[in-house]
Amino acid sequence: MSQSGQPVEIIGVPLDHGSGRRGVSMGPSAMRIAGLRESLHRAEIPAHDIGDIDIPIPEVRDPGDPSHKYLDVVEAACQLLAQRVEEALAQGRLPLVLGGDHSVAIGTISGVAQHLRTDTSQEPPRIGVLWFDAHADLNTPATSPTGNIHGMPLACMLGKGPESLTGIGFPGAKISSHRVIQIGLRELDPDEKRRINESEITAYTMEDIDRRGLPEVIEEALEKVQEDCDHLHVSFDIDVIDPRWAPGTGTARPGGLTYREAHLAMEMVAETGAVRSFELVEVNPILDEGNRTAEVAVGIIASALGKSLLD
């Protein structure tokens, strides 16, 4: 079993319409080729792979409005993913979502929210989110410098973005900002800085990690995120790791987490036994070196779900 005691359901989402570069759609296959099932099996974590959500290739679709490109494709994929995530949770399974670009988080978190929501509550469900990423992903179509939706998922889940995305599952915000912890930030747009400062998001930059040390930051983050939540979701963008160890991603920036820091963070997360859903995104085999990044991603997933050094 995973550290939470749940079997795992693997859901692939080969979506690259939310990013500005092709190739990340092959991320789910790359992680499978890198031995995901075998790694989970060795850690005695039961896993059922339901395959990939069907996604059209970008060349056959019009990107549409340049402020939010391929909105219809991203919406359709996230609608279907939300349904799959909700079904997995209803069956007592832990959804493990393999991206694809980070816009898939809209579908994952919407599915969790739909599963947890009660008809009587007008507040977002009590979902705690650990967001490991070099970027804040808090842009909207009005502020995005690129129009790529993979820079918008957290904003959408806080209720700020195209209605077709904020309305998946049910209208409006799926999470509350005080239950969001961002870890590993090192590249922010001006509007994203403002949103963080004006919200109750807790943000740890790489400077914070360098000054304080990773164990202290993760311990504090875990204590805070578990204060007031019914479900802990981890969203892990592989670009939070320094490209020396994970070069295969479209938005690689120097100065990220080391290989060991990333594993330690996931080991500490796993020790809580609180993770109920997990996604790993932005692995791009076209930009990789011998599938190294996918292999790192598989190790990160195994650590997060409970594999220890002595397994």
pLDDT level of residue 76 (50, 70, 90 thresholds): very high
183-201 pLDDT, tens digit per residue, is 999 999 889 999 999 999 9
Token pair, residue 280, equals: 């790993």
Picking from 57, 59, 107, the residue whose alpha carbon sits closest to that of residue 87 is: 107
Active site residue 282: yes
Ordered alpha helix ranges (H), 181-277: 190-198, 206-212, 214-225, 259-271
Picking from 159, 102, 154, the residue whose alpha carbon sits closest to that of residue 129 is: 154
**Residue 217: strand, helix, or coil:** helix
Q: What is the mean pLDDT of the chain?
A: 93
Token pair, residue 89, equals: 């949770």
Picking from 74, 72, 88, the residue whose alpha carbon sits closest to that of residue 24 is: 74
pLDDT at 310 over 60: no
* Mean pLDDT along residues 202-218: 98
Picking from 123, 85, 100, 74, the residue whose alpha carbon sits closest to that of residue 8 is: 85
246-268 pLDDT, tens digit per residue, is 999 998 889 999 999 999 999 99
Taking the alpha carbons of 193, 140, 128, 34 in that order, is the dihedral positive or negative? negative
State the CB neighbour count (10 A cutoff) for residue 22.
15
Q: How far is CA 252 from the centre of its chain?
A: 16
Q: Which of 17, 68, 115, 150 is catalytic?
A: 150
Whole-model pTM: value is: 0.95
Please, what is the Cα angle at 132 between 131 and 138, to 5 degrees? 55
**Residue 273: strand, helix, or coil:** coil
pLDDT level of residue 124 (50, 70, 90 thresholds): very high
Percent over 70 (pLDDT), the chain? 95
pLDDT at site 307: 76
Q: Which of 9, 237, 261, 279 is catalytic?
A: 237
267-301 pLDDT, tens digit per residue, is 999 999 999 999 999 999 999 999 999 999 999 99
Token pair, residue 73, equals: 């494709």
* Mean pLDDT along residues 62-84: 89
Active site residue 288: no
pLDDT level of residue 68 (50, 70, 90 thresholds): confident
pLDDT at site 222: 98
Domains and CATH numbers, the chain: 8-304 (3.40.800.10)
Q: Which of 17, 68, 115, 135 is catalytic?
A: 135
Q: Which of 16, 86, 133, 261 is catalytic?
A: 133
Active site residue 135: yes
pLDDT at site 201: 97
Active site residue 150: yes
**DSSP 8-state assignment for residue 163:** H
pLDDT at 117 over 80: yes
pLDDT at site 147: 83
**Residue 98: strand, helix, or coil:** strand
pLDDT at site 60: 62
Picking from 288, 260, 211, the residue whose alpha carbon sits closest to that of residue 29 is: 288
Q: Cis bond leading into 184, ω under 30°?
A: no
Q: Which of 86, 239, 242, 279 is catalytic?
A: 239
Alpha carbon distance 174, 171 (integer Å):
8
pLDDT at site 25: 95
* Mean pLDDT along residues 300-309: 86
pLDDT at 8 over 70: yes
pLDDT at 221 over 80: yes
Higher pLDDT, 80 or 123: 80
Picking from 202, 153, 198, 147, the residue whose alpha carbon sits closest to that of residue 180 is: 202
Higher pLDDT, 310 or 10: 10
pLDDT at site 67: 76
